[in-house]
Structure 1
Amino acid sequence: MCGRYTFTAPAPVVEARFEATMPADAAPTFNAAPSQRLPIITNAEPGKVQLFQWGLLPAWVKDAQKANRPINARAETLTEKPSFRQLLQRRRCLVLADSFYEWERPAAGSKGPKIPHRILLRTEQPFALAGLWDEWVNRETGEVHPTFTIITTEPNELMAGIHDRMPVILPGREAELQWLDDGGAAKTQLLRPYHALDMKQYTVGSQVNSPGNNDSACAAPFTWS
């Protein structure tokens, strides 16, 4: 799964890289977590970065308080689940990031802690994760709640030693535009593991375990004994 990530690039870099304007209230995050409002680009407004809540709340949900809000959607089963299948057809997005975290489980029989890793591109440049979005409307107040989920896939060689899933990183601008475009080839062909040789990782400290921590210490290298 993908449950934490970072997005720390300054606005001018983001706007040049993704050809989209940043909102004034967007702030860098070293520990993006579910339920937070985070920057995405939707296929409906590809020239604009917007802040949506992480954790998908589909439009058809009747009771938002009781609804499951998935933070991830498995690429392999998107077309099998009606809620995801419809969004795959009409509501896709880019989730902006420059790294993500994953926790390595202790070896079988070991009682050690899960060790957090930070995973990023070798270039250390920002990238886009493939996502789906939707808008839930409160029928009593008319308030609109925009949300998103991140698509995951099987791990590449780098990730396999850490976790059995990884988020889908779209491989460059052409793939990002294809993901957002309403026409063209089938979207599912883009939902593959990113090239392991173009990525790197290192272990970080326990600060990242709490979503209440959100500063550069979360992403700092740390050696576990």
Structure 2
Amino acid sequence: MCGRFALDLTPEDIVALFRVADVMPFPPRYNIPPTEPIMMVIRDHPRPPGSNLPENRVVLVRWGFIPAWAKDPKQLPLLINARSETAAAKNTFKAAMRHRRTLVPASGFYEWKRDGAKRSQPYWVRPRDGSPVAFAGLMETWAEPGGSEIDTGAILTIGSSGELAAIHDRAPVVVHPKDFARWLDCRNQEPRDVADLMQPADPDFFEAIPVSDKVNKVANTGPDLQQRVELQSPAPLAKADHRVDDDRQMRLL
């Protein structure tokens, strides 16, 4: 599960890694919660042969997927994640899996290890080599009854691996740069053609750094959220407010 993540790359980093046109300046974001705008990379319209124009572009979407068929989003659970193993077959996500696969630029994400019913220890999870990462995402445009439209999205998840498996059993699907073009090519690549990309990350890909419970509050947005803390056994930590009930979310999955 991915309930919070961070993006502290520069616009130049985004342009170089994802082959997009110029990106408007944006501040580093160290604590991105659900329902806020997130950056997604999509395949742009086909370019003429020999064109040097970028093949991808960046869009901002609401983190919280709303299916196109939904009449009242308030009646739905908050769909920030989609299970990669079943997304192509589920009515909620299958159209997006076929036509609107995306990449979600990130520096890493936060995960909480539960110890019983009350205690949870947050971790900052990032690539071990410090490089940026791209999560597999899905995008859907939802039309309100009044006619206005809103772009929404979710992050695909898979079973976790390595040391992360001891913290949580799910993690974002990582798409590596060599696979960006194939993942984004919804015109020629059907879900079955990219199913091999939806695999757990290599066991040594991520490192999990224990951090303070300041990340639990969305109002805390500084880089200090990623500073390592020593693990102790004090009174139960404050319950994180990022959680989306897995059982509730799975009703549509």
Given the two structures, how large is their TM-score scaled by the length of structure 2? 0.81
Which residue of structure 2 aligns with residue 212 of structure 1? Answer: 219
Relative to structure 1, is the Cα distance of residues 117 and 70 closer, same or farther in structure 2, using a 3 angstrom cutoff?
A: same
Per-residue Cα deviation, 1:160-191 (whole angstroms, up to 9, x for no partner): 11111111011x21212111012246122111
2:121 is aligned with what amino acid?
I
Alignment of 1:74 onto 2:83: yes
* Structure 1 residues not aligned, in runs of 5+: none
Structural RMSD (CA): 1.8
Out of 141, 144, 161, the residue aligned to residue 156 of structure 1 is 161
What do residues 170-213 of structure 1 show as CA deviations (whole Å, max 9, x unaligned)? 1x212121110122461221111111223212101111111121
Give the aligned residue type for 2:215: V
Partner of 1:118: 124
Please give the alpha-carbon distance, in whole angstroms, between the structure 2 residues aligned to 1:60 and 1:166.
27
Letter in 1 for 2:203: A
State how far apart, in whole Å, the 2-side matches of 1:8 and 1:211 are: 16
DSSP 3-state at the match of 1:192: coil
Q: Are 2:20 and 1:20 equivalent residues in the alignment?
A: yes
1:11 pairs with 2:11: yes
CA contact (8 A) 1:44 1:91 kept: no
Classify the secondary structure of the residue corresponding to 1:105.
Answer: strand
How far apart are the structure 2 equivalents of 1:204 and 1:75? 28
1:70 and 1:21 map into 2 onto residues whose CA distance is 29
In the alignment, is residue 222 of structure 1 matched against residue 226 of structure 2?
no
Q: Distance in 2 between matches of 1:26 and 1:91?
A: 24
What letter matches 1:176 in structure 2? F
> 2: CA distance between counterparts of 1:204 and 1:22?
34
- Counterpart of 1:177 in structure 2 is 181
Q: Is the 8 A contact 1:23 1:50 kept in 2?
A: no
Amino acid across the alignment from 2:178: E
| Cα shift readout 1:95-121 (whole Å, capped 9, x = no counterpart) | 110111100111x5xx76200111111
Q: Aligned letter for 2:127? A: L
Q: Give CA deviations for 1:5-58 in whole Å, capped at 9, x if unaligned.
A: 111011111211111135426332101110000111123565221211100011
Separation in 1 of the partners of 2:169 and 2:74?
A: 30
- How far apart are the structure 1 equivalents of 2:150 and 2:78? 12
Deviation at 1:146, TM superposition (A): 0.4
Residue in structure 1 matched with residue 105 of structure 2 by the alignment: 96
Aligned length: 220
Q: After the TM superposition, which parts of structure 1 deviate over 4 Å for at least 4 consecutive aligned residues?
A: none
SS at match of 2:196: helix
SS of the residue aligned with 1:48?
strand
| 113-122 vs 40-49, which moves further | 40-49
Q: Which amino acid aligns with 1:174?
A: K
Aligned to 2:144: 138
Asked if 2 retains the 8 angstrom alpha-carbon contact of 1:22 and 1:49, the reply is no
Cα distance in 2 for partners of 1:22, 1:212 equals: 30
Find the structure with the greater CA-based Rg: 2
